[in-house]
Structure formats: C-alpha cells, structure tokens
Structure 1
Amino acid sequence: MGIKVAITIDLPEWLLDKRPLEEFEVQFIKRQCNNEDEVAALASDADAVICGFEPFTRRVMESMSQCKIIAVEGTGYQGVDVRAATDLGIIVTNIPDYCTEEVSDHVMAMILAMNRRLFLCDRITKAGNWGIVKWRTMIGPVSRLRGQTLGIIGLGKIARALVPKAQGFGLNTIACDPYIEPGAADKLGVRLVDLNELLSQSDFVSIHALLTPENRHMLGPKEFQMMKPTAYLVNTARGGLIDEQALAAALSQGLIAGAALDVTDPEPPSLDNPLFQMDNVLITPHSAQFSEAAMAEMIRRPAEEIARVLQGSWPVAVVNPEVKARFEEKWRS
C-alpha cells in the first residue's frame, strides 16, 4: 500500500520539493485548508502531513489515525497543538534555522534604513529636494549609530545571529529573555534586563519572541509610553506581538520615532491600515526570510523529515522530542 501525504496549504509546485520522497510510492493530496473541518477531511487517512499555520487541534489529530508526522514548512508551529500531538504519538517538526542569516540581515537593514532615514531621503530627493538647506529640516534629526543601544526581546537563534552584526556597527546590546541562562548572554556580550528596563533604555527595539496566547499584544499602550521618543521598533517575528492600534497611536502622538515591520496582524494587512499612511513606518511583505538558498532549504526539509520517519530514522528538527517513547510504542512495537 502506498504512502499518503496530505498538504494543507495550496502551495505552487515550485514551493514544494518532493524529491526526498522519490524512493517511496507516495500519493500527494493538496488543498488549502482554512478550518478544522477542512483539515480533518483532507488528512484523516494521511500517513504524513506538510502544513503551514492551519489548525491541527486535538480534535483534528484524533481523526488522523494513520498520521506519524506533521512537518511544518517554516519556523512557526502555532497552528499545531503540540501537547495533543505528543499524546497521540505524532511527531511535529519545523525548520528552525533555514532563514537565520536572512532575517537577522533584514533586521540590521531596517535599523540602518531607519537611522539614516533612507526611504524618506529617497522620496524627497526624487521630489527635487537637493542640498542640505532643502532636506535638513525634512528628514529630521539623525543620530550617529555607534554607541546607541539595541534592545532585543527574545534571544533565540535569529537574535543571536543579529547580535554580532549589530555590535559590528558599534551598537550596545541588551536583551530580555526569561528563558535563557545568563551565561549564554554573557558569552554574546549581551546584558540581560527586564522588559521595562529594555524599553526605557533602547534606541532600537527588535522583537524575536514566539507568539503565544500569553504574550499576544505584549507591546501595547503602556509599553510604548516607556520607550524613548527617539526610539524605533522593529518586528520580524509575528504581527500579533504588537497591538497595532496602539502602535499607530504612539507613532502619531510622537511617543516613538518610527517602526519597521515585516509582519502584521492580520496578514495580509488591509490597505486602509493607518500604518501605511505614515512616513516614519517601513513595511515589508513578510519577506525577511527570503533568499534563494533559504527558500531551497525550506521547500526541501519537510519532505526530508517525512522520509526519515518512513525509513525508520528519527527526524532532525523535532518540536516535541518527548513524543519518542509514545511514537515507538504506537508505531514500531
């Protein structure tokens, strides 16, 4: 009997590399699923699943009696109830490091662009404003980057890749992460502080936290009031970490100087989003992760992880390693 792999996102063929599964007799079934019922209908008899952010709740996974692995095509796995998957003996994998360099580069580019007012300079120059007499008052004050402070919320893989890049430009680095050992931060030359201190001391605040129900809108009206009026906010993590209405209000009131966002809530954003109308806001289309090399890795690794399971091996990037005993008991005993 062949292997059935359900793909719950309507990916174009170039965004899915099936070659790692060529040695198996695989039937791929693909459909965009937008709710629990659609996921359950597509994946109920699948041996493996490739997904994005679709809802894999306990109810859905209880209907997937043949499923051994859910391979998330990306870093975030908030659509999967990991505890339920573990209880049911289902391995969950993601791709935690495929775009570490790309995203950290993107953050640094955003910091430089905001600090040097590059996009505003571009617009006013194309409008005919050449010469310091014309543009000096239009771009506002510009501070020397060296010696300023970058505050990092969440000191994971991407943030750790960002630190030496920022330090190379002379930025002081502080971070807030309750889950990291102080010694790990010390090795990076990063001083650990609490969130309030980070917000009040930083000239740039870059968010690198996972989105959970507990930290949704972790930056809202109270937090923006703590920030310097000259500070900039960068978010390449998840849009839901920021209260966008509060951000728009803080920007319009001058509580902070500007923001650079690669993620919004929801996505895609509405074109009447007030942030789109602000000259001190830079928005990119959730593209921080993109490079040709990163994309090749992202589209290949889900199939590689599935192939490992089918071959009797253990996957590389397992979100729920505690599932192993239950998996072995259920599938290999």
Structure 2
Amino acid sequence: MPANEAPARRFRVGYLSHVPHPSFLETAAQHPEMEVVRIPLDQPEAAVIEALAACDAYYVMASRDELPKPFHVNAALLARLPDLLMVGSTGAGYDTVDPAACTAAGVLLVNQAGGNAEGVAEHAVGMMLALLKRMPEAQAAMRAGQARDRNALMGRELRGRTVGIVGIGNVGTRVAEIVRLAFSCPVLACDLYLDAATIAARGAEKVEMPRLLAESDVVSLHLPLTPDSRDLMNAGSFAQMRKGAIFVTTARGNIHDEPALHAALASGHIAAAGLDVWEQEPPPPDHPLLNMPNVIVTQHTAGVTHESRSNITRIAALAFADAANGRLPPRVINPAVVPRFAERWAAAFGRPMAT
C-alpha cells in the first residue's frame, strides 16, 4: 500500500452481549474486511446506542423476550442509527425486527432461514412420537405413584397417519420428508405463498386450512409470525381439528391462542400438544398449559442444538462478509430495499457494490 493511501475501511458488525455460537466469530475472523464488535449490555442504554451507531451492521437477537425492548429494530431505534446499513437476525425468525421500518430507513434485513431446519424438524417429529405414545402422561403417572394399568395409557403409532403441515418452508419440508419416508404418512400442507406443484415437489398435497384441520391426525406449525398468521390457531381452528388429533408447534408464539388451546385440550377434543414456542418466553411457572399431563413443553429449544447453532451463525457471518465485500447476501427479507441499500453502501464505502 502506498504511504499516502489510507487503509480501506472495514465493515463493522456489532452484536449485543453474546453470539449464539463461537462459529460466528470463527467464521468472521476469516474475513479481515469485516470488524466484529461486542457491545456489552451492562452499561447505560445511551452507551449501547452510541456503540451501535458506529456500526455498519447489527447482528440482532431473534428471540423477542431475550432482547431488551430499546434494542429491538423498529423505526424509533433506526432513527437513532442513521448510518446503519444492514441488520441480520441470529436465527430464521426476526421477531425483534420490523421489516417495513428497515425498508423505510434503507436498511437491508437478512435472516438465517434453513440453517436450523434439521434441529427444528427432528424436535417436531420427536414431539409427535412422544405424544402419540403418551409418554408425558406415563411419566406423570409414574412420578405420582399412580401407574397401575398399562392399558390406561395405550398409545398410537405414527405410521400411516395423516400429518398436516402449516407452512412448508425449510423446516416444514424436512418434517414432510421424515414422516413420509420413515413412517409412510400422507402429508397435507397449507401455505399461502406456494402453488400446488411446488408443494408436491416438497412431498405434500396442497390444501386449504379447513381440510387440513379436518383430516389430519397431527397438525404441525412451521410458519413465521406475521400479521396474517397471528392467532391463526384460535378456538374456531381447534374446533375444526379432528377429535383426538395432536397439535405441535415449533414455529412462533402468538400464532396459536394459548387459552383456546388449553380449553380444547381440557375438553378432550385435542388429545395432546407439543409446544416449543410461547406468547411469553419462558412462560410463567403457573401457566395452565405447563401443568397438563398430555402436553410436552420446551423453551424454544427446537433449534438450539450444537449443529444448528454452528450452522446459523456461520451463515450469518458469511452474509455480513458478503456485504463487507459489496455483494448482496442471500436470504433478504425486504428485497424492495435493495436499490436504496446499494446506494447507501456505495456512499459509505466510496465505490459501487458488485453486480
């Protein structure tokens, strides 16, 4: 480098408190064009904002209850970060980010869709198997000293049962593959964004929600939380499900109505439920669904495996590296922003983005 030439400015990525897996930092370290900055949360809010304001990108926690509200990406926060170019969530979800606000501010939003598909799909199918075999009920009876008649806990097998998948993206496709190939299950799928041919290629038959609910022995949710999906599974939806069916969700809280699900389980209309996601995470200890013997509960841990966390953090680091090198990363949530993002990136780095 000539003595009078300034070194190229690095693309600065800030994260709060911690990263989900060391793979993020290990992958980022292989890209010297990128600088990663840890911003501690044990300091005044103004100091956190000041540190974020000096970053080109924000690697934001995806779980809404783990991230303090002032640092959720919305119009108010973005107004305090006028030079921010990009936001990347730590997972497939982006509940802590307002995509419309990002687009209005010229900020690119990416997620890590598909990175944890195996972990989440295995979790969902594991719940199906445990619920059909009534494992949580057997465990509760044994621990209470009430296990006497094994026939009282007679279960069912998954093989050949109809599985209804709501949202057949990366995770839903993998669930369909597992239950179809390993258990010979017919698979129905409802997805507003995919046509019948695409869904057929993913191993399922495209149907509308009323038919899926009426004909499925197991209903499993695998869609993001959006205004369209909020409260999708309400009292009316649960009433439409086949009597004795199983309900599983590893998607997002607020897609299913928790009091309505509790009522459907208490009435016996729904046989059992597997819940990995909640309106409040974790739910309070006295939450009614936590104390039902026919419910399996986990704390949004379906995708919290060593393999999934390593994969999603590596994908995130590579997305930031793409942006650092002037390339558009994959998995863009708000594609309408791309032209303005490219203009802002070029102004910040003094050269056009790669085409």
TM-score over 0.5 for the alignment?
yes
Report the CA distance between 1:151 and its aligned residue.
0.9
Give the whole-Å Cα distance in 2 for the aligned partners of 1:178 and 1:158: 16
Summarize deviations over 1:160-191 as a string: whole Å, max 9, x none. 11112111202111111121111112233422
Partner of 1:142: 155
Amino acid at match of 1:30: I
- Counterpart mapping for 1:2-151 below 5 A: 4-8=12-16, 10-11=17-18, 17-22=24-29, 23-24=32-33, 26=35, 28-32=37-41, 40=49, 42-53=51-62, 54-124=71-141, 134-137=149-152, 139=153, 141-151=154-164
Shift of 1:19: 3.4
Q: Distance in 2 between matches of 1:37 and 1:110?
A: 43
Q: Secondary structure at the match of 2:37?
A: strand
CA distance in 2, matches of 1:13, 1:235: 22
Is it true that 1:248 corresponds to 2:227 in the alignment?
A: no
* CA deviation string 1:35-93 (max 9, x = no partner): x9897555233221110245211232233222121111111113222233234332211
The one-letter amino acid of 1:290's match is V
1:308 touches 1:315 (CA, 8 Å); kept in 2?
yes
CA distance in 2, matches of 1:32, 1:198: 45
Closer, same or farther: CA 275–94 of 1 in aligned 2, 3 Å: same
In the alignment, which residue of structure 2 is the partner of 1:283?
Answer: 297
The whole-number CA distance in structure 2 between the counterparts of 1:229 and 1:46 is 53
Question: Distance between the aligned counterparts of 1:257 and 1:226, measured in 2?
Answer: 14
Same amino acid, percent of matched pairs: 29
Structure 1: segments with no counterpart, 5+ residues: none
SS of corresponding position for 1:275: helix
**Closer, same or farther in 2 for the Cα pair 1:308/1:127, shift >3 Å?**
same
| Contact 1:75/1:94, CA 8 A, preserved across alignment | yes
Q: Would the aligned equivalents of 1:4 and 1:28 in 2 still touch at CA under 8 Å?
A: yes
CA shift in 2, pair 1:303/1:254, >3 Å:
same
Quote the Cα distance in structure 2 between the aligned partners of 1:16 and 1:102.
Answer: 17
Whole-angstrom distance in 2 between the partners of 1:63 and 1:70: 14
In the TM superposition, residue 329 of structure 1 has moved relative to its aligned partner by: 1.9
The corresponding residue for 1:300 is 314
Residue 325 of structure 2 aligns with which residue? 311
Shift of 1:21: 3.8
Q: 2:170 aligns with which of 149, 154, 157?
A: 157
Of 217, 222, 225, 2:231 maps to 217
C-alpha RMSD over aligned residues: 2.6
What TM-score, normalized by structure 1, do the two folds share? 0.88
Does the residue aligned with 1:306 lie in a helix, a strand or coil? helix
Taking the aligned partners of 2:171 and 2:74, their CA distance within structure 1 comes to 28
The worse-fitting range, judged by mean Cα deviation, of 310-319 and 178-187 is 310-319
**Closer, same or farther in 2 for the Cα pair 1:91/1:188, shift >3 Å?**
closer
- Partner of 1:269, secondary structure, is coil
Give the count of matched residue pairs. 326
Q: Secondary structure of the equivalent of 1:241?
A: coil
Contact in 2 for aligned 1:93/1:319 (Cα 8 Å): yes
Helix, strand or coil at the partner of 1:18 = helix
The residue identity in structure 1 corresponding to 2:14 is: A
Is contact 1:173–1:191 with CA below 8 Å preserved after alignment?
A: yes
Equivalence map 1:138-217=2 (5 Å): 139=153, 141-168=154-181, 169-217=183-231
Tell me the distance in 1 between the aligned counterparts of 2:60 and 2:110.
10
Deviations along 1:250-290, whole A, 9 cap, x unmatched? 11111211100111111011000011111100011211113
Q: Deviations over 1:89-124 (max 9, x none)?
A: 322111101111111111111111111112333444
Partner of 2:249: 235
The letter for the 1-side match of 2:167 is G
- Structure 2-normalised TM-score? 0.83
Is the CA contact 2:108–2:334 (under 8 Å) kept in the aligned structure 1?
A: yes
Distance 2:325 2:146 in 1: 64
